[in-house]
Amino acid sequence: MRIEELIIDGFKSYAVRTVIANWDSAFNAITVLLTPLISRALTQSQGLNGSGKSNILDSICFVLGITNMSTMRAANLQDLIYKRGQAGVTKASVTIVFDNKDTKNSPIGFEEYSQISVTRQVVMGGQSKYLINGHRAQQHTVQNLFQSVQLNINNPNFLIMQGKITKVLNMKPVEILAMIEEAAGTRMFEDRKDKAFKTMAKKDKKVEEINALLAEEIEPKLEKLRNEKRAFLEFQQTQSDLERLTKVVIAHDYLKFQDRLNRSGADLDEKKNRILAIEENMSQKKNEISHIERDVRRVNQEREKEAKKGGRFQALETKVKETSHELVRINTVVELKESTIAEEQDRIQKIREAIRLVCSMPY
């Protein structure tokens, strides 16, 4: 990728929107981050000290998402706003536009774009946001974009300032090799590999803890739940069988008592018929007694008449004795019938009570 434009607005000494274009083709996103050739790109930016030449480099560091504020010569994000917001400017914005026509070196996922613009804004209070091609993005998304073209902005040596050149020249070979590895991006992958191994170790330990938890707590609880489930299913089956058998017993009792009720009703009808017959017989006997009593009264009257006449007294007296014996016999039969009626009525009462008991039973 090659830088086409750098747009600065409200950043440090740039109070108004400033567009820096016509960048040297040698000043690309790789060169600016790996070597001190930044001076080649800034050769045309001449001016006195404090005129803002270094702020251009600070703006590039800012828009790329550097978190180390000392690299941008500031204590906090609010220091990056023009005069710390005291001149009416309340936000700082920097946009860097890359030429992305070389799709072979394009960031992953951005091959279809001919240009890629990255914007970073900061407002009073220190709130910061990123935009990629005008769309809101997270900081790690911006970092991944540059890492996909081997740019690690968190690399302490990704940018060699003018004051560090002498220090770099005095480095030992091992230190220079480490710096080159970091600048080339290979150290980034080593760090990622170390992080991946640490993550895997943590995950393996977590898996062991989970397996131990399964063996010590979860499995016994599951087995207990299985046993409880089996017991509950057996209880449900027993409850179902009990309900079914209870219904069978109730149906059997219902049919049995219904049969008893029917037989009791038939027996009751028979007893009623017998009572009616006895009552009819009693009525007949009472009629006979009434006739006999009339006969007795008539005979007594005739005896009195005969006694007065002195005639057939002996025959009438004999007839009176016979009639008296017949009256005694009939009275005895009547008493027996009345006793039988009382017994039958008592039995009828018991049958009625039994019928009420059967009818009141729940089914």
pLDDT in tens, the chain (363 residues): 788 899 999 998 888 999 988 887 665 543 444 333 333 334 334 555 666 678 888 888 888 888 777 777 888 888 888 888 888 888 999 999 998 888 888 888 888 888 999 999 999 887 889 999 999 999 888 888 887 777 767 666 666 666 677 777 788 888 888 777 766 666 667 777 888 999 999 999 999 988 888 888 888 888 889 999 999 999 999 999 999 999 999 999 888 888 888 888 888 888 888 888 888 888 888 888 888 888 878 877 876 776 666 556 666 677 777 777 887 888 787 788 778 888 877 877 877 777 777 666 655
Query: Which CATH architecture is the domain 248-360 placed in?
Result: Orthogonal Bundle (1.10)
CA distance 106 to 114: 9
Q: Where are the domains of the chain?
A: 2-171, 248-360
Q: β-strand 91-99 against 18-20: which pairing, if any? A: unpaired
Nearest to 184 by CA among 157, 150, 159: 150
Question: What are the phi and psi torsion angles at 150 (to 5°)?
Answer: 65, 35
Burial group, residue 79, by CB count within 10 angstroms (0-12, 13-18, 19+): middle
Cβ-based neighbours of 280, under 8 Å, separated by 6 or more: none
Q: What is the 3-state secondary structure (H, E, C) of 69-109?
A: HHHHCCCCHHHHEHHHHCCCCCEEEEEEEEECCCHHHCCCC
Alpha carbons 9 and 119: distance in angstroms, whole number: 11
Strand pairing class (2-9; 135-137): unpaired
Helix (H, G, I), strand (E, B) or coil at 302: helix
pTM beyond 0.85: the answer is: no
Cβ neighbours for 275, distance < 8 A, ≥ 6 positions apart: 341, 344, 345, 348
Cα 270 to chain centroid distance, Å, stands at 71
Based on its alpha-carbon atoms, the radius of gyration of the chain, rounded to whole angstroms, reads 63
Bridge partners, 19 (sequence order): 7
Q: Which class does domain 2-171 fall in?
A: alpha beta
